[in-house]
Amino acid sequence: MVNRTDAPTMQAEKASDAFANAPVCAAFNHNASQLAVGYRGFPLSVWSVQAGTLIERCKRVTASKQQGQTQCNWWGVDQLTWNPVTDHVIAVYRDGCIFKWHPILSEYQEAQSAADEVACSRDGKLFASSNSMGIIQVWNFAYFTPIYRLSSEDLVTGFSFSPHATRLYDTRSTATAINVWELNNLLQFAESGDLSNNAASSTHQSTLVYQASETTIADIEPITSLLASPIRSVVLHG
């Protein structure tokens, strides 16, 4: 026997002369009370899971070239995640921008940076983005600035922070193993206690200056066979 309960149904409404099409990405916040959904040809929307009602749609303030005034428009979102501490949505626009947005407080900030994937650290202080050029950028969430950059010719297929945000793990399209990075900037960031996750901090200058660093990953050919010599300290690999 299967017990069923009446669950609220989330139905997208018409917005800005567009109807909700197929969802392309979705994510729950830290306690699963809210659901963020990115649609094809429709604005990013955040829903109340319990009530099944719309909380807010993401509006983007852009400058009108014809009238010289600002107007609110919606833009398509390809990828998104939540900050588990502040309940901001971190997402990627299709025109090569990454942004953070709080659906209840209506706080918004964006930066010009092409990205295909985003992930946030458990403590909410850092997030990372990757793009099709094989580049991973680590960002200071509060001040929305990159603090580290990993470059490689291999496409990034997945990445994640360690629980204490002192390491970064990634997998690459041509690799047969997981890369583990323990970056000085992450250690320095984790040890400092001055940087706050307060959403309002995005309007202030940081009291600590972190110089953005960069590491280029050398191309490593995958090993498909391995043979050790029985009489000498020699290993043959192919």
Confidence of residue 192 (pLDDT cuts 50, 70, 90): low
Q: How many CA atoms lie within 13 A of 75 on its CB side?
A: 18
Rounded to an integer, the average pLDDT of 183-207 is 50
Selected residue with higher pLDDT from 55 and 235: 55
Confidence of residue 197 (pLDDT cuts 50, 70, 90): very low
pLDDT (0 to 100) of residue 216: 60
Dump pLDDT digits (tens) for 154-188: 888 888 998 888 888 888 877 667 888 887 766 66
pLDDT (0 to 100) of residue 89: 98
Whole-structure pTM value: 0.74
The DSSP string of 87-140 is: --EEEEETTSEEEEE-TTT--EEEEE---SEEEE-TTSSEEEEE-TTS-EEEEE
Dump pLDDT digits (tens) for 87-130: 999 999 988 899 999 999 999 999 999 899 999 999 999 999 99
pLDDT (0 to 100) of residue 105: 95
pLDDT (0 to 100) of residue 204: 35
79 pLDDT exceeds 90? yes
Amino acid code (one letter) for 223: I
**Cα–Cα distance, 59 to 74 (Å, whole number):** 5
**Cα–Cα distance, 181 to 164 (Å, whole number):** 13
What is 23-237's CATH number? 2.130.10.10
Sign, Cα dihedral of 98, 193, 208, 106: positive
Domain ranges across the chain: 23-237
Q: Choose the most confident range, by mean pLDDT, from 2-6, 87-91, 208-212.
A: 87-91
First to last CA, the chain: 56
pLDDT (0 to 100) of residue 149: 87
Nearest alpha-carbon partner for 48 in 10, 78, 88: 10
Confidence of residue 208 (pLDDT cuts 50, 70, 90): very low
Lowest-confidence segment of 21-30, 103-112, 116-125, 201-210 by average pLDDT: 201-210
